Amino acid sequence: MTTLLSRNRDYRLLWGGQVISETGFSTSMIAFPLLVLAVTGSAAQSGLVLGAVAIAQLAAGLPAGALVDRWNRKKIMLACEAVQGLAAAALVAALWWGVANVAMMIAVAAVMGLCRALFEPAEEASLPRLVTVDQVPSAVAMNAARSSAGQLSGTALGGFLFALGRMVPFVFDVIAHVLAFAALLFVRLPPKPVEHRTATPHLGREIVAGLRWVWRQPHVRITAVCAICLNLFFSAYYLVIIVLADSRGVPAGEIGVMAAMLGGGGILGALAAPYLHRKLSPYVLIISVFWALTVLTPLAVFVHNGYLMGLLFAAMAFLPPAANTTISTYQLLLTPDAMRGRLGGVMGVTGGLAAAAGPALGGWLVDAVPGGTAVLVCAGAIAVVTLLATFNPTLRRFPRRVDETTADLPEEPEMLDTKGKSNG
Protein backbone atom coordinates (compact mmCIF):
# COMPACT_ATOMS: atom_id res chain seq x y z
CA MET A 1 0.00 0.00 0.00
CA THR A 2 1.29 3.43 -0.93
CA THR A 3 2.41 5.51 2.01
CA LEU A 4 0.12 8.47 2.56
CA LEU A 5 1.60 11.76 1.44
CA SER A 6 0.86 13.19 4.89
CA ARG A 7 3.34 10.68 6.33
CA ASN A 8 6.13 11.77 4.01
CA ARG A 9 8.29 13.77 6.45
CA ASP A 10 10.44 15.45 3.81
CA TYR A 11 7.53 16.54 1.65
CA ARG A 12 5.73 17.91 4.72
CA LEU A 13 8.78 19.98 5.63
CA LEU A 14 9.11 21.37 2.11
CA TRP A 15 5.38 22.03 1.79
CA GLY A 16 5.05 23.69 5.19
CA GLY A 17 8.09 25.89 4.65
CA GLN A 18 6.81 27.02 1.27
CA VAL A 19 3.36 27.90 2.63
CA ILE A 20 5.14 30.39 4.87
CA SER A 21 7.52 31.56 2.13
CA GLU A 22 4.76 32.15 -0.41
CA THR A 23 2.68 34.00 2.16
CA GLY A 24 5.65 36.27 2.83
CA PHE A 25 6.24 36.83 -0.87
CA SER A 26 2.56 37.70 -1.50
CA THR A 27 2.66 40.05 1.48
CA SER A 28 5.57 41.92 -0.10
CA MET A 29 3.89 42.01 -3.51
CA ILE A 30 0.87 43.79 -2.03
CA ALA A 31 3.03 46.09 0.10
CA PHE A 32 5.35 47.14 -2.76
CA PRO A 33 2.86 49.33 -4.68
CA LEU A 34 1.57 50.79 -1.42
CA LEU A 35 5.13 51.63 -0.39
CA VAL A 36 5.98 53.24 -3.74
CA LEU A 37 2.80 55.31 -3.61
CA ALA A 38 3.63 56.42 -0.06
CA VAL A 39 7.20 57.37 -1.02
CA THR A 40 6.67 58.88 -4.49
CA GLY A 41 2.92 59.22 -5.05
CA SER A 42 3.41 57.75 -8.55
CA ALA A 43 1.17 54.91 -9.72
CA ALA A 44 3.40 54.43 -12.77
CA GLN A 45 6.43 53.79 -10.58
CA SER A 46 4.37 51.34 -8.50
CA GLY A 47 3.71 49.37 -11.66
CA LEU A 48 7.39 49.55 -12.58
CA VAL A 49 8.42 47.95 -9.27
CA LEU A 50 5.85 45.15 -9.56
CA GLY A 51 6.73 44.67 -13.21
CA ALA A 52 10.36 44.11 -12.24
CA VAL A 53 9.38 40.86 -10.51
CA ALA A 54 7.60 39.46 -13.56
CA ILE A 55 10.20 40.71 -16.04
CA ALA A 56 13.09 39.23 -14.06
CA GLN A 57 11.27 35.92 -13.67
CA LEU A 58 10.48 35.68 -17.38
CA ALA A 59 13.94 36.80 -18.52
CA ALA A 60 15.67 34.28 -16.27
CA GLY A 61 13.20 31.42 -16.86
CA LEU A 62 14.95 29.45 -19.61
CA PRO A 63 18.54 29.86 -18.29
CA ALA A 64 17.30 29.06 -14.78
CA GLY A 65 15.77 25.79 -15.95
CA ALA A 66 19.07 24.76 -17.55
CA LEU A 67 21.05 25.70 -14.42
CA VAL A 68 18.64 23.68 -12.26
CA ASP A 69 19.59 20.63 -14.33
CA ARG A 70 23.29 21.36 -13.73
CA TRP A 71 23.41 22.25 -10.05
CA ASN A 72 22.38 20.66 -6.77
CA ARG A 73 18.66 21.37 -6.51
CA LYS A 74 18.45 21.50 -2.74
CA LYS A 75 21.31 24.01 -2.61
CA ILE A 76 19.52 26.11 -5.25
CA MET A 77 16.35 26.20 -3.14
CA LEU A 78 18.30 27.04 0.02
CA ALA A 79 20.19 29.81 -1.76
CA CYS A 80 16.97 31.28 -3.17
CA GLU A 81 15.36 31.45 0.27
CA ALA A 82 18.48 32.99 1.78
CA VAL A 83 18.88 35.61 -0.96
CA GLN A 84 15.21 36.61 -0.84
CA GLY A 85 15.46 37.01 2.92
CA LEU A 86 18.58 39.15 2.59
CA ALA A 87 16.99 41.30 -0.12
CA ALA A 88 13.91 41.94 2.02
CA ALA A 89 16.17 42.66 5.03
CA ALA A 90 18.13 45.21 2.99
CA LEU A 91 14.88 46.99 2.13
CA VAL A 92 13.84 46.97 5.79
CA ALA A 93 17.18 48.51 6.75
CA ALA A 94 16.84 51.17 4.05
CA LEU A 95 13.33 52.03 5.26
CA TRP A 96 14.57 52.19 8.85
CA TRP A 97 17.32 54.65 7.90
CA GLY A 98 15.07 56.60 5.52
CA VAL A 99 17.19 55.99 2.43
CA ALA A 100 14.88 53.69 0.45
CA ASN A 101 14.20 54.84 -3.11
CA VAL A 102 12.50 53.46 -6.20
CA ALA A 103 15.74 52.19 -7.74
CA MET A 104 16.43 50.07 -4.68
CA MET A 105 12.87 48.76 -4.64
CA ILE A 106 13.19 47.74 -8.30
CA ALA A 107 16.47 45.96 -7.50
CA VAL A 108 14.90 44.07 -4.56
CA ALA A 109 11.87 43.13 -6.67
CA ALA A 110 14.12 41.90 -9.50
CA VAL A 111 16.13 39.75 -7.07
CA MET A 112 12.89 38.19 -5.84
CA GLY A 113 11.84 37.46 -9.42
CA LEU A 114 15.21 35.85 -10.22
CA CYS A 115 15.01 33.68 -7.12
CA ARG A 116 11.52 32.50 -8.03
CA ALA A 117 12.72 31.70 -11.56
CA LEU A 118 15.29 29.35 -10.04
CA PHE A 119 13.30 27.99 -7.10
CA GLU A 120 10.15 26.91 -8.94
CA PRO A 121 11.77 24.57 -11.52
CA ALA A 122 14.16 23.27 -8.83
CA GLU A 123 11.26 22.30 -6.57
CA GLU A 124 9.19 20.87 -9.41
CA ALA A 125 12.12 18.82 -10.73
CA SER A 126 12.80 17.49 -7.22
CA LEU A 127 9.25 16.32 -6.62
CA PRO A 128 9.53 12.85 -8.25
CA ARG A 129 12.63 12.17 -6.12
CA LEU A 130 10.95 13.34 -2.93
CA VAL A 131 7.73 11.32 -3.21
CA THR A 132 6.78 7.98 -4.73
CA VAL A 133 5.40 7.76 -8.25
CA ASP A 134 1.90 7.13 -6.87
CA GLN A 135 2.19 10.21 -4.66
CA VAL A 136 3.16 12.61 -7.46
CA PRO A 137 -0.44 13.58 -8.41
CA SER A 138 -1.34 14.35 -4.79
CA ALA A 139 1.90 16.31 -4.32
CA VAL A 140 1.26 18.36 -7.47
CA ALA A 141 -2.30 19.12 -6.30
CA MET A 142 -1.18 20.04 -2.78
CA ASN A 143 1.45 22.39 -4.19
CA ALA A 144 -1.27 24.13 -6.21
CA ALA A 145 -3.43 24.46 -3.09
CA ARG A 146 -0.42 25.79 -1.20
CA SER A 147 0.24 28.48 -3.81
CA SER A 148 -3.38 29.62 -3.80
CA ALA A 149 -3.53 29.64 0.01
CA GLY A 150 -0.25 31.54 0.28
CA GLN A 151 -1.41 34.12 -2.24
CA LEU A 152 -4.77 34.61 -0.53
CA SER A 153 -3.38 34.88 2.99
CA GLY A 154 -0.46 37.06 1.92
CA THR A 155 -2.71 39.40 -0.02
CA ALA A 156 -5.02 39.85 2.97
CA LEU A 157 -2.11 40.18 5.41
CA GLY A 158 -0.07 42.63 3.34
CA GLY A 159 -2.51 45.52 3.56
CA PHE A 160 -3.07 44.99 7.28
CA LEU A 161 0.65 44.88 8.08
CA PHE A 162 1.36 47.94 5.93
CA ALA A 163 -1.22 49.85 7.96
CA LEU A 164 0.89 49.06 11.05
CA GLY A 165 4.04 50.45 9.45
CA ARG A 166 5.75 50.69 6.05
CA MET A 167 8.46 48.20 6.89
CA VAL A 168 6.28 45.68 8.76
CA PRO A 169 5.24 43.58 5.69
CA PHE A 170 8.88 43.25 4.65
CA VAL A 171 9.94 42.27 8.19
CA PHE A 172 7.31 39.53 7.96
CA ASP A 173 8.75 38.49 4.59
CA VAL A 174 12.24 38.21 6.10
CA ILE A 175 10.93 35.99 8.90
CA ALA A 176 9.00 33.87 6.38
CA HIS A 177 12.13 33.18 4.31
CA VAL A 178 14.18 32.39 7.42
CA LEU A 179 11.59 29.82 8.52
CA ALA A 180 11.38 28.34 5.01
CA PHE A 181 15.19 28.12 4.88
CA ALA A 182 15.23 26.31 8.23
CA ALA A 183 12.59 23.81 7.06
CA LEU A 184 14.53 23.14 3.84
CA LEU A 185 17.70 22.37 5.80
CA PHE A 186 16.04 19.25 7.21
CA VAL A 187 14.58 18.01 3.91
CA ARG A 188 16.36 14.83 2.81
CA LEU A 189 16.39 15.13 -0.95
CA PRO A 190 18.02 12.16 -2.73
CA PRO A 191 20.90 13.32 -4.93
CA LYS A 192 20.56 13.42 -8.70
CA PRO A 193 22.08 10.55 -10.73
CA VAL A 194 25.78 11.06 -11.42
CA GLU A 195 26.26 12.46 -14.90
CA HIS A 196 29.31 11.73 -17.02
CA ARG A 197 29.69 14.63 -19.39
CA THR A 198 31.63 14.15 -22.61
CA ALA A 199 31.80 17.84 -23.47
CA THR A 200 32.06 21.18 -21.72
CA PRO A 201 28.59 22.34 -20.67
CA HIS A 202 27.17 25.09 -22.84
CA LEU A 203 24.19 26.97 -21.44
CA GLY A 204 22.77 27.96 -24.83
CA ARG A 205 22.84 24.38 -26.14
CA GLU A 206 21.23 23.12 -22.95
CA ILE A 207 18.41 25.66 -23.27
CA VAL A 208 17.84 24.65 -26.90
CA ALA A 209 17.79 20.98 -25.85
CA GLY A 210 15.04 21.79 -23.34
CA LEU A 211 12.99 23.63 -25.95
CA ARG A 212 13.49 20.76 -28.41
CA TRP A 213 12.43 18.24 -25.77
CA VAL A 214 9.15 20.02 -25.12
CA TRP A 215 8.43 20.46 -28.83
CA ARG A 216 9.09 16.78 -29.66
CA GLN A 217 6.67 15.43 -27.03
CA PRO A 218 3.23 15.76 -28.67
CA HIS A 219 1.22 15.58 -25.43
CA VAL A 220 3.49 18.09 -23.70
CA ARG A 221 3.36 20.38 -26.72
CA ILE A 222 -0.42 20.40 -27.10
CA THR A 223 -1.08 20.93 -23.39
CA ALA A 224 1.41 23.82 -23.39
CA VAL A 225 -0.52 25.42 -26.27
CA CYS A 226 -3.78 24.88 -24.37
CA ALA A 227 -2.33 26.52 -21.26
CA ILE A 228 -1.06 29.50 -23.25
CA CYS A 229 -4.46 30.08 -24.88
CA LEU A 230 -6.43 29.77 -21.63
CA ASN A 231 -3.99 31.94 -19.67
CA LEU A 232 -4.11 34.61 -22.38
CA PHE A 233 -7.86 34.84 -22.79
CA PHE A 234 -8.81 34.26 -19.16
CA SER A 235 -6.31 36.89 -17.95
CA ALA A 236 -7.90 39.32 -20.42
CA TYR A 237 -11.36 38.26 -19.25
CA TYR A 238 -10.44 38.78 -15.59
CA LEU A 239 -9.37 42.37 -16.19
CA VAL A 240 -12.48 43.04 -18.27
CA ILE A 241 -14.68 41.73 -15.44
CA ILE A 242 -12.94 43.94 -12.84
CA VAL A 243 -13.39 47.04 -15.00
CA LEU A 244 -16.99 46.09 -15.82
CA ALA A 245 -17.83 45.56 -12.15
CA ASP A 246 -16.38 48.96 -11.29
CA SER A 247 -18.35 50.65 -14.07
CA ARG A 248 -21.54 49.04 -12.79
CA GLY A 249 -20.97 50.54 -9.36
CA VAL A 250 -19.95 47.35 -7.56
CA PRO A 251 -18.27 48.48 -4.28
CA ALA A 252 -14.52 47.99 -3.99
CA GLY A 253 -15.05 45.63 -1.05
CA GLU A 254 -17.25 43.36 -3.15
CA ILE A 255 -14.67 43.38 -5.95
CA GLY A 256 -12.04 42.26 -3.43
CA VAL A 257 -14.26 39.44 -2.21
CA MET A 258 -14.95 38.52 -5.82
CA ALA A 259 -11.24 38.14 -6.52
CA ALA A 260 -10.73 36.18 -3.29
CA MET A 261 -13.49 33.74 -4.27
CA LEU A 262 -11.57 32.96 -7.46
CA GLY A 263 -8.66 31.87 -5.27
CA GLY A 264 -11.00 30.01 -2.95
CA GLY A 265 -12.40 28.02 -5.86
CA GLY A 266 -8.85 27.15 -6.86
CA ILE A 267 -8.06 25.86 -3.36
CA LEU A 268 -11.19 23.69 -3.30
CA GLY A 269 -10.35 22.42 -6.77
CA ALA A 270 -6.80 21.56 -5.72
CA LEU A 271 -8.09 19.60 -2.72
CA ALA A 272 -10.46 17.66 -5.00
CA ALA A 273 -7.83 17.21 -7.74
CA PRO A 274 -6.32 13.87 -6.56
CA TYR A 275 -9.80 12.27 -6.46
CA LEU A 276 -10.78 13.66 -9.87
CA HIS A 277 -7.39 12.61 -11.28
CA ARG A 278 -8.08 9.02 -10.22
CA LYS A 279 -11.71 8.90 -11.39
CA LEU A 280 -11.65 10.73 -14.74
CA SER A 281 -9.59 10.20 -17.85
CA PRO A 282 -7.05 12.91 -18.76
CA TYR A 283 -8.99 13.86 -21.88
CA VAL A 284 -12.26 14.26 -19.97
CA LEU A 285 -10.57 16.39 -17.28
CA ILE A 286 -8.80 18.68 -19.72
CA ILE A 287 -11.79 19.17 -22.00
CA SER A 288 -14.08 19.72 -18.99
CA VAL A 289 -12.03 22.79 -18.08
CA PHE A 290 -12.51 24.24 -21.56
CA TRP A 291 -16.24 23.54 -21.67
CA ALA A 292 -16.81 24.84 -18.13
CA LEU A 293 -15.18 28.14 -19.07
CA THR A 294 -17.06 28.25 -22.37
CA VAL A 295 -20.40 27.89 -20.57
CA LEU A 296 -19.64 30.09 -17.56
CA THR A 297 -17.72 33.07 -18.97
CA PRO A 298 -20.60 34.64 -20.97
CA LEU A 299 -22.85 34.61 -17.88
CA ALA A 300 -20.92 37.58 -16.47
CA VAL A 301 -22.82 39.84 -18.86
CA PHE A 302 -25.95 39.24 -16.78
CA VAL A 303 -24.32 39.39 -13.30
CA HIS A 304 -24.37 42.78 -11.57
CA ASN A 305 -23.54 41.64 -8.03
CA GLY A 306 -19.96 41.18 -6.84
CA TYR A 307 -20.76 38.21 -4.63
CA LEU A 308 -22.57 36.38 -7.42
CA MET A 309 -19.67 37.09 -9.74
CA GLY A 310 -17.39 35.68 -7.06
CA LEU A 311 -19.40 32.45 -7.07
CA LEU A 312 -19.08 32.36 -10.85
CA PHE A 313 -15.31 32.85 -10.52
CA ALA A 314 -15.13 30.07 -7.91
CA ALA A 315 -16.95 27.69 -10.28
CA MET A 316 -14.53 28.59 -13.09
CA ALA A 317 -11.53 27.95 -10.84
CA PHE A 318 -12.66 24.56 -9.52
CA LEU A 319 -11.68 22.22 -12.39
CA PRO A 320 -8.35 23.65 -13.65
CA PRO A 321 -6.30 22.29 -10.68
CA ALA A 322 -7.41 18.72 -11.48
CA ALA A 323 -6.46 19.10 -15.15
CA ASN A 324 -3.16 20.71 -14.16
CA THR A 325 -2.49 17.81 -11.79
CA THR A 326 -2.98 15.29 -14.59
CA ILE A 327 -0.88 17.27 -17.05
CA SER A 328 1.97 18.07 -14.63
CA THR A 329 2.14 14.49 -13.37
CA TYR A 330 2.42 13.18 -16.91
CA GLN A 331 5.06 15.75 -17.83
CA LEU A 332 7.18 15.12 -14.74
CA LEU A 333 7.14 11.33 -15.07
CA LEU A 334 7.70 11.42 -18.82
CA THR A 335 10.72 13.73 -18.60
CA PRO A 336 14.15 12.34 -17.64
CA ASP A 337 15.53 13.73 -14.39
CA ALA A 338 18.35 15.46 -16.27
CA MET A 339 15.78 17.49 -18.25
CA ARG A 340 13.15 18.31 -15.60
CA GLY A 341 14.55 21.71 -14.68
CA ARG A 342 14.38 22.82 -18.29
CA LEU A 343 10.85 21.48 -18.61
CA GLY A 344 9.86 23.68 -15.65
CA GLY A 345 11.66 26.66 -17.15
CA VAL A 346 9.95 26.32 -20.53
CA MET A 347 6.49 25.83 -18.99
CA GLY A 348 7.00 28.76 -16.63
CA VAL A 349 8.05 31.13 -19.39
CA THR A 350 5.28 30.18 -21.81
CA GLY A 351 2.62 30.44 -19.10
CA GLY A 352 4.09 33.68 -17.78
CA LEU A 353 4.17 35.35 -21.19
CA ALA A 354 0.51 34.50 -21.78
CA ALA A 355 -0.49 35.69 -18.31
CA ALA A 356 1.41 38.95 -18.88
CA ALA A 357 -0.09 39.56 -22.33
CA GLY A 358 -3.65 38.80 -21.17
CA PRO A 359 -4.19 41.96 -19.10
CA ALA A 360 -2.81 44.05 -21.96
CA LEU A 361 -5.32 42.41 -24.31
CA GLY A 362 -8.10 42.96 -21.76
CA GLY A 363 -7.18 46.61 -21.38
CA TRP A 364 -7.24 47.09 -25.14
CA LEU A 365 -10.67 45.42 -25.38
CA VAL A 366 -12.10 47.63 -22.63
CA ASP A 367 -10.94 50.72 -24.49
CA ALA A 368 -12.12 49.45 -27.88
CA VAL A 369 -15.61 48.09 -27.14
CA PRO A 370 -18.26 48.29 -24.38
CA GLY A 371 -17.72 46.10 -21.30
CA GLY A 372 -20.41 43.55 -22.13
CA THR A 373 -19.06 43.16 -25.66
CA ALA A 374 -15.52 42.71 -24.32
CA VAL A 375 -16.77 39.88 -22.09
CA LEU A 376 -18.36 38.16 -25.07
CA VAL A 377 -15.23 38.59 -27.20
CA CYS A 378 -13.13 36.83 -24.55
CA ALA A 379 -15.78 34.15 -24.08
CA GLY A 380 -15.99 33.65 -27.85
CA ALA A 381 -12.21 33.22 -28.11
CA ILE A 382 -12.31 30.62 -25.33
CA ALA A 383 -15.17 28.83 -27.15
CA VAL A 384 -13.13 28.63 -30.36
CA VAL A 385 -10.16 27.16 -28.48
CA THR A 386 -12.54 24.73 -26.76
CA LEU A 387 -13.81 23.38 -30.08
CA LEU A 388 -10.27 22.98 -31.42
CA ALA A 389 -9.19 21.17 -28.24
CA THR A 390 -12.25 18.91 -28.18
CA PHE A 391 -11.50 17.46 -31.61
CA ASN A 392 -7.70 17.40 -31.25
CA PRO A 393 -6.56 13.78 -31.79
CA THR A 394 -3.49 14.15 -29.55
CA LEU A 395 -5.57 15.22 -26.56
CA ARG A 396 -8.06 12.41 -27.21
CA ARG A 397 -5.19 9.92 -26.88
CA PHE A 398 -3.73 11.51 -23.75
CA PRO A 399 -2.39 8.57 -21.65
CA ARG A 400 -3.50 8.00 -18.09
CA ARG A 401 -0.03 6.86 -16.94
CA VAL A 402 3.50 7.02 -18.26
CA ASP A 403 6.49 4.77 -17.75
CA GLU A 404 9.51 7.01 -17.19
CA THR A 405 11.87 4.56 -18.83
CA THR A 406 10.01 4.74 -22.17
CA ALA A 407 10.41 8.49 -22.58
CA ASP A 408 12.51 9.80 -25.45
CA LEU A 409 15.85 10.97 -24.11
CA PRO A 410 17.73 14.18 -24.95
CA GLU A 411 20.15 13.93 -27.81
CA GLU A 412 23.17 15.48 -26.06
CA PRO A 413 25.19 12.64 -24.44
CA GLU A 414 26.71 14.97 -21.85
CA MET A 415 23.25 15.41 -20.30
CA LEU A 416 22.77 11.73 -19.48
CA ASP A 417 24.00 9.47 -16.72
CA THR A 418 25.95 6.28 -17.39
CA LYS A 419 22.77 4.30 -18.10
CA GLY A 420 21.48 6.92 -20.54
CA LYS A 421 18.28 7.49 -18.61
CA SER A 422 16.94 9.02 -15.45
CA ASN A 423 16.99 7.02 -12.25
CA GLY A 424 14.43 9.39 -10.68
SS3 at position 193: coil
User: What mean pLDDT comes out for the span 271-294?
Assistant: 93
User: What pLDDT score does 30 carry?
Assistant: 86
SS3 at position 195: strand
- Length of the chain, please? 424
SS3 at position 336: coil
How much is the pTM? 0.85
Q: What pLDDT, in 10s, does the model give residues 140-191?
A: 999 999 988 888 888 788 888 998 999 999 999 999 999 999 999 999 988 7
User: How many Cβ atoms sit within 10 Å of the Cβ of residue 97?
Assistant: 8
Lowest mean pLDDT among 61-65, 408-412, 418-422: 418-422
The pLDDT of residue 419 is above 70 = no
Domains of the chain: 1-187 (1.20.1250.20), 203-411 (1.20.1250.20)
Q: What pLDDT, in 10s, does the model give residues 9-59?
A: 999 999 999 999 999 999 998 898 889 888 888 777 877 887 888 899 999
Q: b/e per residue, 29-64, with b = 16+ CB within 10 A?
A: bbbbbbbbeebeeeeebbebbbebbbbbbbebbbbb
Longest dimension (CA), the chain: 65
pLDDT-based confidence at residue 199 (cuts at 50, 70, 90):
low
Q: What is the mean pLDDT of the chain?
A: 87
User: Does residue 189 contact residue 17 with C-beta atoms inside 8 Å?
Assistant: no
User: What pLDDT score does 196 carry?
Assistant: 56
- C-alpha dist (Å) from residue 248 to 133, 158, 297, 306: 50, 28, 18, 10
Find the Cα–Cα–Cα–Cα dihedral 248, 253, 255, 261, rounded to 10°.
-140
User: What pLDDT score does 19 carry?
Assistant: 94
Q: What pLDDT, in 10s, does the model give residues 286-345?
A: 999 999 999 999 999 998 888 999 999 999 999 999 999 999 999 999 999 999 999 999
Angle between helices 340-368 and 218-247 (to 10 degrees): 30
Q: Is 415 exposed, middle or buried (0-12, 13-18, 19+ CB in 10 A)?
A: buried
Q: Is 405 exposed, middle or buried (0-12, 13-18, 19+ CB in 10 A)?
A: exposed
